[in-house]
Structure 1
Amino acid sequence: MESTVLASPVIKVAAICGSIRKASFNRGLLRSAIEISKQSVNGMQIELIDVSPLPMINTDLVVDGRFPPAVEAFRQKVLESDSILFASPEYNYSVTPPLKNAIDWASRPPNVWAGKAAAIVSAGGDSGGGRAQYHLRQIGVFIDLHFINKPEFVLNAFQPPTKFDGEGNLVDPEAKEKLKQVLQALHKFTLRLQGR
């Protein structure tokens, strides 16, 4: 009798970085997440969504109920995703302006974040971006995002051994393993929320 292996259901993940620098450590976390998902997390397709083209939020730019083209394209990507993976640097104990701007645009009615599963990863100094993560979780309450609680991923990027190469790519094996665990938890939680 032939055994059947059931494939893990595929979820679409919108990966959003709060830094718009190309060599950003947080962008490096998302690049690594994409690589890990292809190699060792079945059923996950991660797409990095660039927030740099978004204008600063200004409802005067919404004409006859239509958002600016860059905003509409971003909102559509979020809407079509099953879950969200944020990489959030910490600026002054909080999230960055580009990330908050993206969140605000996508929360305009109709709120395209609502009901989705989400996870946060961050790299930075002392706290590894932890304080920004707590602010992002607070924002998530209002926009109806559902964050995984465990595992948490905060990475002190400046503590030896070297975590990133000169181009901002994650090279630390232990951090990659923790990142894989976050992706696995996000996959499982997304399916649970969707009743799959």
Structure 2
Amino acid sequence: METLVATKPLIKVAAIAGSLRKGSFNRGLLRAAMQICSESISGMSIEYVDIAGLPMLNTDLEVDGKYPPAVEAFRQKIRQADSILFASPEYNCSVTAPLKNAVDWASRTPNAWADKPAAILSAGGGFGGGRSQYHLRQIGVSLDLHFINKPEFFLNAFQPPAKFDSDGNLIDEAAKEKIKEVLLALHLFTLRLNGKC
């Protein structure tokens, strides 16, 4: 007699960094999240989605209801994802221009963000990117994004001891443990919103 084994549904997460710099600490947070997910969290996978190639938002680039190829590819990645993981650095007390540009492109009709669960990680100075997170949450209301409320993750990247190595990789074990908590919360929240738990 064949035994049926219940398996967890695979949650596909699109990970987006608001910084384009190769050694960005926020990109380092996403690399850490991807490693933690692959090693410790069953039923979830994270794919990094690069936003560097997106043109600046200009509706003149929309022709006959179509978007430029890089934008179409990006929007498709967002549509295919079950949830979103943002790494949002803080520039001038708000979200970065590349991140806002990506958010705006994917919000064009039809809104690719609609009804997606999301979480935010941030590394930065004194507030650890906190002000950018709160602005991103405000933007998310308009986009119909559903952010997890707890736990929050803010990391002061410049306070000793060192949190990142010279290549921008996260080396702080306590921070890694907090990222794992965020990922577990996002996983559970995604299942709840999709009616799977």
Which residue of structure 2 aligns with residue 30 of structure 1? 30
Deviation at 1:4, TM superposition (A): 7.7
Which residue of structure 2 aligns with residue 193 of structure 1? 193
AA at the equivalent of 1:101:
N
Counterparts of 1:42-81 in structure 2 under 5 Å?
Answer: 42-81=42-81
Q: CA RMSD in A?
A: 1.3
Q: Which runs of 5+ in 2 are unaligned?
A: none
Counterparts of 1:168-187 in structure 2 under 5 Å?
Answer: 168-187=168-187
Query: Cα deviations across residues 164-189 of structure 1 (Å, max 9, x unaligned)?
Result: 00000000000000000000000000
SS of structure 2 residue aligned to 1:174:
helix
Which residue of structure 2 aligns with residue 39 of structure 1? 39
CA distance in structure 2 between the partners assigned to 1:179 and 1:137 by the alignment: 18
CA distance in structure 1 between the partners assigned to 2:132 and 2:124 by the alignment: 10
TM-score, with structure 1 as normaliser: 0.97
Aligned length: 195
Query: Cα deviations across residues 54-107 of structure 1 (Å, max 9, x unaligned)?
Result: 000000000111100000000000000000000000001100000000000000
AA at the equivalent of 2:151:
P
SS of structure 2 residue aligned to 1:162:
coil
AA at the equivalent of 2:70:
A
SS of structure 1 residue aligned to 2:15:
strand
Which residue of structure 2 aligns with residue 10 of structure 1? 10
AA at the equivalent of 1:55:
P
CA distance in structure 1 between the partners assigned to 2:96 and 2:26 by the alignment: 12
Identity %: 71
TM-score, with structure 2 as normaliser: 0.97
Q: Which runs of 5+ in 1 are unaligned?
A: none
Query: Does 2:184 correspond to 1:161?
Result: no
Deviation at 1:161, TM superposition (A): 1.3
SS of structure 1 residue aligned to 2:16:
strand
Which residue of structure 2 aligns with residue 146 of structure 1? 146
Query: Cα deviations across residues 124-166 of structure 1 (Å, max 9, x unaligned)?
Result: 0000000000000000000000000000000000111110000
Counterparts of 1:124-135 in structure 2 under 5 Å?
Answer: 124-135=124-135
Deviation at 1:5, TM superposition (A): 6.5
Deviation at 1:9, TM superposition (A): 1.9
AA at the equivalent of 2:195:
G
